[in-house]
Amino acid sequence: SYDLQGRLLALVASPEPLHLINPRWEFHDANWWPDFPTSARKAAWFLEQSRGGSVDGVIALTNTVLEQMLDILGPIAMPEYGRTMTAENFTVETQKIVEREYDRTVNQPKQFLAAFAPRVLERLERMTPDERQRLLQALYRAVKEKHLMVYSSDAQAQQILEALDWSGRQQPSGLSDYLMVVNTNIAGGKTDRVVTTSLGHEVRVSPAGQLTVTLTITRTHRGERGDQFTDVQNNSYVRVYVPGGSQLLAASGFALPEGAVFETAESGFSADLDLAAVEGRHQRDPISGAAVYQEQGKTVFAHWLSVKPGEQRSATVVYRLPFTLAEANGAYTLLAQKQ
């Protein structure tokens, strides 16, 4: 992905939270929105703006998918890197290579992945019928668990992907409560795998039928002191997606990352039209500092929640839903979507 940096023609300012690391928006940070088709289109746009041509689709997968594939395919030797990649060591060893061991002169930290991918494809061509069946089962689990998502620029194909729930689309909620909590790690190292999130979701009904939600977000950092990848503060820009028109009543426990310095976009950078169109205008809660805006038909409450290794931090958001129990035909329902 970093090969595109020197070829990017567009000078657009990144989303404000990303100014913690880069005020210029680039391809490797295109996966900004939790609605995957929206992020996929942005990734394709950055590729085109970098003279990379157009694409018919975008496939996103986590390293969990590669671990499951290696569990089925078996070890893959990478002698030029002095390693044999397995399901057990793939994530850790890849991090070591791309973060610590790459040639600083050539400066291509992700070259390992470019060399690794063809060998995986080669091994896939030699699968046995049993391995093929196991792989299909693993890929099916991956799309259901959102470890694998697919976007197509062809409208008919995309419609099929959405009908199968393989597209990572945010779902409409109607007169149902809705919740999607999104944690975006910015300048927090490789700590996501050792940070767990738990949610407490309480709904109170007033005598008049108004519904008030108290959401408690608890983040626990299980990283070890001295570990080269996990001994880092996890900085999460937390976005809470709730039914459109919900009213923020209170927020507490959030704060900017300790020592955070946000860079300013240079003159000549333009505002990104997609960002403005998708997110709408941000307002700032004067007491908590939380951002409040509309996106994909949802109301969003957003702020920072950072946690250091060995620590646990909690934040709370209290909001009123935009409908009463009577307007929901006397039945409370909740649609919760995972990140």
Q: Is the pLDDT of residue 189 over 60?
A: yes
The torsion angles phi and psi of 297, rounded to 5 degrees, stand at 75, 10
Element (H, E) at 121: helix 111-124
Q: Is the pLDDT of residue 229 over 90?
A: no
Output the CA–CA distances (angstroms, integers) from residue 150 to 68, 139, 159, 226, in the order listed. Answer: 18, 12, 11, 38
- Among the listed residues 274, 294, 338, 296, the one whose alpha carbon sits nearest the alpha carbon of residue 44: 274
Contact assessment for residue 40 and residue 81, using Cβ atoms and an 8 Å cutoff: no
* Mean pLDDT of the region 201-226: 96
pTM: 0.92
Position 172 scores a pLDDT of: 92
Contact assessment for residue 33 and residue 39, using Cβ atoms and an 8 Å cutoff: yes
What's the mean per-residue pLDDT of the chain? 93
Q: Is the pLDDT of residue 202 over 90?
A: yes
Residue predicted with more confidence, 215 or 111: 215
The conformation of residue 100, written as its DSSP 8-state character, comes to I
pLDDT tens readout for residues 251-296: 999 999 988 899 988 888 999 999 999 998 899 999 999 999 999 9
Position 97 scores a pLDDT of: 87
pLDDT tens readout for residues 96-149: 888 777 665 555 667 888 899 999 999 999 999 999 999 999 999 999 999 999
Alpha helices in 228-305 (DSSP H): 273-279
The torsion angles phi and psi of 87, rounded to 5 degrees, stand at -60, -35
pLDDT tens readout for residues 19-38: 999 999 999 999 999 999 99
Contact assessment for residue 215 and residue 179, using Cβ atoms and an 8 Å cutoff: yes
- Cβ-based burial of 177 (10 A; exposed 0-12, middle 13-18, buried ≥19): buried
Here the contacts of 311-315 (C-beta below 8 Å, separation 24 or greater) are: 311/220, 311/221, 312/218, 312/219, 312/220, 312/221, 313/218, 313/219, 313/253, 314/216, 314/217, 314/218, 314/219, 314/253, 315/216, 315/217, 315/238, 315/251, 315/252, 315/253, 315/254
Contact assessment for residue 30 and residue 8, using Cβ atoms and an 8 Å cutoff: no
